[in-house]
Structure 1
């Protein structure tokens, strides 16, 4: 834990100067950065993902050797043995990053934002990491979103949820039907398994969408975020 807490993640923040009553933490995909995913979202939406009362935070994963890239350094949330859904999870790196991101979220809490006013999510690997973070480390967050993401068939998340009896945050999930990197079927199977284990889930399919973001998807995400994190009247 001490080693994990020593890692300070770089971050890009939207709505930093305004007073906010909620936070969204948006995790990028493998090989990307916080500024990179923010710029991509802005390009797709033609504006930032911005809300009057919500701060949006895009952390950057530290560079680590990544096995699917021949152990070359890449900004990834965890390592993988390969990019197949029946592969064994790289538990050591997932858990290490889970502790680092838990500390990252705790900093939001210390700034005055309650855990039940924080949503965690991401694209591709970022969405997978967000699912691990919410359902294994921080089950009291306001919600989780995963865009073009999946969990491995024998994910430790499923094992943990079989033993968990408390309330769980809602999962908002989207996936392109033409995704040939993270197959639509993998995302759908993840959603069905989590739902069977008691997670409140929604799953939205986008025909002809590859492994990318889509404006309609992000507009749906914005509406869902506002539903989960309405403005608080003081």
Structure 2
């Protein structure tokens, strides 16, 4: 199953209609990831997007697509997770934000791994704040496992973010996270394909049901025929969402 997920995740880099040739550079870090693919703002920077890839991918997998939908005054950061053995894949090592045991709703959660990854994401956000970008000008997003981490980290950050993008994902330990939410007005765009064979659509629906009861600006959009991937319609919706979040 996970080998299929990795293959489908990496297909994102082959979307000919969306691939551009951004100028990127890599930032070395002593934190969780070995490097961050960074696409600088083409105008004076006033905001930042941090986007987290899916299992088995790297920051390069989404950099082109996010460049295509970001405003000109926005910097994009796509970090790469550390390589670790993944239990769901028989211990095979690959870039992963935390360990996965199953994708069932009642599966065991790598609590320590999720919290470690969350600390790393929170540090990225804090670093942007230190550089002069307020938390409410930072959009956090992710795909699949990266989307799960984006929801967890974004909803647990002590300051309100500009918004959260959650593609084809679920919320780990949703009861714990929802009970601890302090900012009920954070905008969230959650997107999912109804033909997703990896992270099934019902998992996205379950997360959406839980979040919509607590949050005032949560949207859940379904894309007909989309598998564990992305599409132009989804990215167009994401572009509009980012523009709205950063227009205030």
Distance 1:165-1:108 versus aligned 2 partners, 3 A rule: closer
CA positional deviation for 1:197 = 2.3
Q: Select 2:244's aligned residue among 207, 212, 227.
A: 227
- The 3 A distance-change label for structure 1 pair 165 and 133 is closer
Match for residue 110 of structure 2?
A: 90
Pick one of 134, 145, 153 that aligns with 1:133.
153
Q: Which residue of 2 aligns with 1:177?
A: 194
Per mean C-alpha deviation after superposition, the further-off stretch among 10-19 and 187-196 is 10-19
Match of 1:13 in 2: 38
Question: For 1:25, which of 50, 55, 64 is the aligned residue?
Answer: 50
User: Equivalent of 1:50, from 42, 63, 70?
Assistant: 70
Q: CA 1:25–1:168 in 2, change beyond 3 Å: closer, same or farther?
A: same
User: CA contact under 8 A between 2:42 and 2:73: conserved in structure 1?
Assistant: no
RMSD: 2.0
In 1, distance between residues paired with 2:141 and 2:183?
21
Number of aligned positions between the proteins: 219
Query: TM-score of the superposition, structure 1-length normalised?
Result: 0.86
Match of 1:207 in 2: 224
Matched, 1:186 2:203: yes
Unaligned runs of 5+ in 2: 1-28
CA drift of 1:104 comes to 1.3
Match of 2:94 in 1: 74
Deviation per CA, 1:194-214, whole angstroms, max 9, x where unpaired? 111235210111111111010
Per the alignment, do residues 138 and 66 of structure 1 end up closer, same or farther by CA in structure 2, a change over 3 Å counting? Answer: farther
Moved over 6 A (4+): none
In structure 1, stretches of 5+ residues that fail to align are none
Judged with a 3 Å threshold, the aligned counterparts in structure 2 of structure 1 residues 186 and 139 are, in CA distance, closer, same or farther, namely farther
- Whether the 8 Å CA contact 2:41–2:73 is kept in 1: the answer is no
